[in-house]
Structure 1
Amino acid sequence: MAVIAIYSAKGGVGKTTIASNLAWCSATQAGHSTLLWDLDAAGGAGFLFGVEPKAKRAGAMFARDENPEELLWETGYENLDLLPADDSLRQLDSQLLQIGKRRRLGKLANRLGKHYERIVLDCPPGLGEVSSQVLRTAEIVIVPLPPSPLSQRAFDLVRREIKRVGEKAPSILPVLSMVDVRRKLHREAVEAEPSWPVLPYSSPVEQCAVRNQPVGVFAASTPAAQQFGRLWQAIDRKLSKR
């Protein structure tokens, strides 16, 4: 089992779209039994798969009041399940601090990992107890970076947080997201970091939220779908070296 976190210190970077499409690639293209675990109270990952849980129970499993296996949803795609988020996660940072469970996320991941080869975390933005536990749990952290000075600043924050983890720190993989090469700033960002994966800004990616489907389902031949597939292959290669 390996945990892959899609995380950024700031919002609006395409994090949920990336997490959902990578989880689909893991399950459908690579054939891994995969769990997409939504930790963001906004519940975007569930929405992208047409899942809207009626009961607000996601936060209870962190206090051991809820069995995480009972919260799993089938996505309709082979090998891919979803652990959706809801409003009960809004106070998760303070909840974890109050109960003193500094490794609760990791223990839940290990428990769920008995059923899955890959767990993809769609993480909430910001710095706090949740992000600290994510960085101690994940093997790889994918950091989406739209080309902008603010994104670079957020990336520097993530790198500093990862260094604090110490010897067991996860690998970090920055990804240029929502790239429009018609814009000078975006072209310069790609040229400055030629080894970083690039995810284009495109209509098919926007359509994921309209269709409630990963882009590979309805637009498999597009550059966006192919880039998601290549990105997942790069992640798998990194995992094979750990």
Structure 2
Amino acid sequence: MRSLAVFSVKGGVGKTALAVNLAHAAATLSARRTLLWDLDTQGAATYTLRLAASPRLSARKGIAEGELSTLIQASDFPNLDVLAADKSLRQLEKQLVESDKAKLLKKLIKSLDKDYDRVILDCPPGLTELADQVFRAVDLLVVPMLPSPLSMRAFDQLIDHLARHHKGNTPVVLPVFTMVDRRKALHRVTIAAALDRPSIPYAAAIEAMATTRLPVLVKAPKSPAAKALSSLWTDVERALTRLP
């Protein structure tokens, strides 16, 4: 089993859309038994896949007790399950700090090894204790960013943080340009300076996910966005399979 997190220091970069589409691609294009773990208290990934957290359960409590199975729900798509987010995750940060269990998340992901081939985490933004737990736990970080100076600066801050605080034990990092609008000169110049990085276009097909509540490969499979997302999944899968 391999794990990856979709993580960004800044919000508003299309993080959840990327996480949902990568999870769907893992389950459908690669036929991987996939779990999308929604760690963002807003629960946008859960909502986008037409699911909702059970009012009788607490995601925070499940994490604390190491019992995730009751929180996992099947999606509408074969091979794709979701560990739903709920409002209790607002207290997760405090819980992680107070518990002093630096590798709790890593242990929980390891416990899913027999049931899943790929675990994909949709993480809240920010360099927090939860983020540090994620960095210790996953094999790959997919980092969405806008093709802009502020997003590039945030990415540099992430790389510096990993070098300072996770030296010798860092996941592979895959930066991805998102919401790319090639009509904008700044976007064109930024991408030209980093041609090796994957890019996802600014697209109505991605924006529509909030209303259709369907992955792009389902609703608009022939769109440029779908092609870009499929290509990105190929890059992600290649990176994961190359790991020792």
Deviations 1:142-201 (A, max 9, x none): 110111221111101211222221222111010000001011111111111101000000
Name the SS of the counterpart of 2:208 in structure 1: helix
Structure 1 residue 73: deviation in Å?
0.7
The residue number in structure 2 matching 1:80 is 80
TM-score by structure 1 length? 0.97
Match of residue 48 from structure 1:
48
| Aligned Cα root-mean-square deviation (Å) | 1.1
- Please tell me whether residue 26 in structure 1 is matched to residue 2 in structure 2: no
- Alpha-carbon distance between aligned partners in 2 of 1:101 and 1:60, rounded to the nearest angstrom: 15
- Whole-Å Cα distance in 2 between the matches of residues 59 and 153 of structure 1? 32
Structure 1 unaligned residues grouped into runs of 5+: none
User: Which of 92-101 and 115-124 deviates more?
Assistant: 92-101
CA distance in 2, matches of 1:189, 1:171: 22
Give the aligned length: 241
What is the match of residue 2 of structure 1?
A: 2
CA distance in 1, matches of 2:141, 2:158: 9
Do residues 236 (structure 1) and 237 (structure 2) align?
A: yes
Q: 2:180 corresponds to which residue?
A: 179
What is the SS of the residue equivalent to 1:143? strand
Please give the residue correspondences for 1:134-153 in structure 2 after superposition, counting only pairs within 5 Å: 134-153=134-153
Matched, 1:131 2:131: yes
Does the aligned pair in 2 maintain the 1:62–1:96 contact within 8 Å? no
**Percent identity between the two aligned chains:** 41
Find the counterpart in structure 1 of residue 195 from structure 2: 194
Q: Deviations over 1:57-99 (max 9, x none)?
A: 11112221x6201110111101000001111111211111112
Distance in 2 (alpha carbons) for counterparts of 1:110 and 1:54: 24
Q: 3-state DSSP class of the match of 1:196?
A: coil
Partners of 2:60 and 2:153 in 1: CA distance: 30
Once residues 115 and 234 of structure 2 are traced to their aligned partners in structure 1, the CA distance between those partners, rounded to angstroms, is: 22
Say if 1:59 and 1:89, in contact at 8 Å, map to a contact too: yes
When normalised by structure 2's length, the TM-score is 0.96
Task: Please tell me whether the aligned partners of residues 4 and 119 of structure 1 are also in contact (alpha carbons under 8 angstroms).
Answer: yes
CA shift digits 1:99-151 (9 cap, x unpaired): 22211111110112221000000001011110001001111101101112211
Structure 1 CA distance, aligned partners of 2:113 and 2:202?
33
Which structure 2 segments of 5+ residues have no match? none
Q: In terms of mean alpha carbon deviation, does 10-19 or 46-55 score higher?
A: 46-55
Q: Which stretches of structure 1, 4 residues or longer, exceed 4 Å deviation after superposition?
A: none
